[in-house]
Amino acid sequence: MNAYQHTQPGTLIRVALGGPMLVLLGVILWAPLQPRVELGIVAGILAITLLLFHSLTVTIDDHFLRLNFGIGLIRIKYQVTQIAKASSVKNKWYYGWGIRILWNGFLYNVSGLDAVEIVLSSGAVHRIGTDDPEGLTQAINAASHNRST
């Protein structure tokens, strides 16, 4: 049985969302401002987004490639038999982070520019951001090769 599991922390997302959220909470608690409700709503949105996208966990077994963002409410699953090819790639900086639609498919990323591009047997292209591109590429290729033999 093949097994791979790796969690990449979303360092930039944590800083970009967590910092302003903490500042807003400080303002709400200590500043004599009236728009506390509005600031609380913004802080709540930042907190929810942070919980949803603070990390990306990739798991591969003999049957599935699974992606779980943050606390696991957002999940994507691929059958390894549907993966035709996997290769290590570099994303452009402007592709961004989170879940994105690219010109040729989808991107799932929480940090950095390294990714693994998978091409499904249907021709669909998906990129999975990772700080372990070689390990993820090898695990995907091993799992899809073992299922096809």
Report, as an integer, the average pLDDT of 60-75. 96
* Predicted confidence band of residue 37 (pLDDT cuts 50, 70, 90): confident
Domain presence at residue 2: no
For residue 25, the enclosing domain spans 8-52
Mind listing the pLDDT tens digit for each residue in 86-102?
999 999 999 988 999 98
- State the pLDDT confidence band at 36, using cuts at 50, 70 and 90: confident
The reported pLDDT for the residue numbered 29 is 86
Which amino acid, one-letter code, is at 137? T
Angle, alpha carbons 39-41-46 (nearest 5°): 95
Q: How many domains does the chain have?
A: 2
Is 3 domain-assigned?
A: no
DSSP line for the chain: ---EEEEEE-HHHHHHHHHHHHHHHHHHHHS--STHHHHHHHHHHHHHHHHHHSEEEEEE-SSEEEEEETTTTEEEEEEGGGEEEEEEEE--GGG-SEEEEETTEEEEESSSSEEEEEEETTS-EEEEE-S-HHHHHHHHHHHHHHHH-
Do the domain assignments include residue 84? yes
Residues 109 and 129 placed together within one structural domain of the fold? yes
Q: Domain of 116: which CATH number?
A: 2.30.29.30
